[in-house]
């Protein structure tokens, strides 16, 4: 889904270590201690009524049906193409959303068929003081059965209204991602992945959120973004560890998003290794973007090139930006958003990775909920 940050390329080039099966150890607690969050990047999208009308009219049913994730590949030489990487022993870091960038690494051993054990978090978790996180303890959801093969969500509940497809134009091509409506002060925030708002140095255009999308139906309307926000790390170098974004959407028919579809809770700086549900609208084969798909299981720390968490899940392109939920209640369809679908390694299509929601992700959410949605 995204280009790996330049600072990771030297690590990817250490093929002798990879060939020998040597894994880089996790940073110490002191080294990994998060610094103060930097100011999020705020981009004006369709911030006038006339622009919003144009964007809404742009997205005809035919254009939504034809929107597809792009599959870009970044070679070791830094060249980006629209074709899959060539043969040979190279292995690529392959995100799963529009504009997927890969960074090849030679002589990498085959990936294990089971995820590594969870790693103890390097910093003490804390709950965000944002209004979306309850001050009272949240009862844990029932134990989740691992589901690596994505299945259509048929249990109903809040998730079928708060989760939706994201559509936008990227370098002249129409593409799709996923996103989640969350509780917020302005009742107008959608959380998604960084590459779902900006990629290749430019913010996307014609950005809309369609909650509850189902087989071409838009039961709760089409919501046009007035502002797009992402982390400064993603903005500067498309750093996969900060592949987080938010959109502020304009009111529709005089109503705000959360008043119409509700909003999921969101939390930051939480303990790693939790049970999670992941949702999204995968649009690449074998899926077609027509329905909400989910996976469930315990997440594990990426032990390769990112600080992300992984989940055994075979969702494909288009699921990018879809929500990962802790404390998910299968009966009510409500949970606490704690990551988003971000990328996959092309040698391990059975794993999905999502960024850790730390202080920088929280800063994006805080800035978004304080934007004027009108």
Strand partners, 246: 191, 229
Residue with tokens 């329905």: 291
Strand partners, 170: 173
Does residue 204 belong to any structural domain of this protein? yes
As a whole number, mean pLDDT of residues 183-207 equals 97
Does residue 247 belong to any structural domain of this protein? yes
Give residue 347's pLDDT: 82
Does residue 119 belong to any structural domain of this protein? no
Give residue 68's pLDDT: 83
Q: What distance in Å separates the CA atoms of residue 142 and residue 309, rounded to the nearest whole number?
A: 21
Give residue 96's pLDDT: 58
Q: What is the model's pTM?
A: 0.78
The residue range of the domain holding 267 is: 6-21+39-107+126-369
Number of domains composing the chain:
1
Kindly report, residue by residue over 34-60, the tens digit of the pLDDT.
567 789 999 999 999 999 999 999 999
Q: What distance in Å separates the CA atoms of residue 95 and residue 71, rounded to the nearest whole number?
A: 9
Residue with tokens 């990018």: 320
Does residue 116 belong to any structural domain of this protein? no
Q: Is the peptide bond before 91 cis (omega within 30 degrees of 0)?
A: no
What CATH number has the domain bearing residue 315? 2.40.10.120
Strand partners, 230: 41, 245
CA 30 to chain centre: 28
Does residue 328 belong to any structural domain of this protein? yes
Does residue 98 belong to any structural domain of this protein? yes
As a whole number, mean pLDDT of residues 103-110 equals 32
Q: How confident is the model at residue 226 (pLDDT cuts 50, 70, 90)?
A: very high
Instruction: Tell me which of 209-213, 217-221, 284-288, 339-343 is least confident.
Output: 284-288
Q: How confident is the model at residue 148 (pLDDT cuts 50, 70, 90)?
A: low
Give residue 142's pLDDT: 37
Kindly report, residue by residue over 76-87, the tens digit of the pLDDT.
333 333 322 223
268-278: burial string, b at 16+ Cβ within 10 Å, e else: bbbebebbbbb
Does the pLDDT value for residue 130 go beyond 80? Answer: no
Q: What distance in Å separates the CA atoms of residue 367 and residue 132, rounded to the nearest whole number?
A: 14
């Amino acid at each position: 889904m995204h280009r790996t940050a330049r600072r990771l390329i030297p690590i990817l080039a250490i093929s002798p270590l990879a060939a020998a099966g040597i894994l880089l150890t996790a940073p110490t607690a002191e080294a990994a201690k998060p610094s103060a969050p930097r100011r999020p990047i705020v981009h004006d999208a369709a911030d006038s009524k006339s622009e919003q009308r144009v964007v809404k009219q742009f997205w005809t049913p035919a254009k939504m049906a034809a929107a597809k994730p792009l599959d870009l590949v970044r070679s070791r030489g830094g060249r980006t193409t629209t074709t899959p990487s060539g043969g040979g022993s190279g292995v690529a870091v392959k995100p799963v959303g529009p504009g997927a960038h890969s960074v090849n690494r030679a002589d990498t051993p085959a990936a294990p068929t089971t995820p590594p054990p969870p790693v103890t978090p390097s910093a003490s978790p804390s709950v965000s003081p944002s209004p979306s996180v309850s001050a009272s303890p949240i009862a844990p959801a029932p134990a989740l059965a691992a589901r690596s093969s994505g299945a259509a969500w048929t249990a109903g509940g809040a998730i079928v209204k708060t989760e939706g497809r994201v559509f936008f134009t990227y370098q002249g091509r129409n593409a799709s991602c996923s996103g989640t409506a969350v509780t917020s002060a302005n009742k107008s925030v959608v959380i998604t992945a960084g590459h779902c708002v900006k990629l290749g140095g430019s913010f996307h255009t014609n950005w809309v959120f369609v909650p509850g999308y189902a087989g071409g139906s838009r039961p709760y309307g089409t919501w046009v973004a007035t502002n797009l926000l992402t982390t400064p790390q993603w903005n500067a170098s498309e750093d996969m560890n900060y592949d987080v974004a938010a959109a502020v959407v304009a009111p529709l028919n005089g109503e705000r998003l959360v008043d119409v579809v509700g909003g999921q809770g969101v939390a930051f700086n939480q303990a790693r290794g939790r049970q999670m549900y992941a949702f999204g609208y995968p649009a690449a084969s074998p899926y077609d973007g027509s329905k909400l798909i989910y996976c469930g299981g315990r997440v594990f720390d990426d032990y390769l090139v990112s600080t992300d968490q992984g989940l055994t899940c075979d969702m494909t392109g288009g699921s990018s930006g879809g929500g990962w939920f802790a404390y998910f209640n299968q009966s009510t369809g409500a949970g606490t958003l704690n990551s988003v679908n971000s990328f996959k390694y092309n040698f391990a299509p059975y794993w999905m990775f999502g960024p850790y929601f730390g202080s920088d992700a929280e800063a994006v959410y805080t800035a978004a909920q304080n934007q004027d949605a009108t």
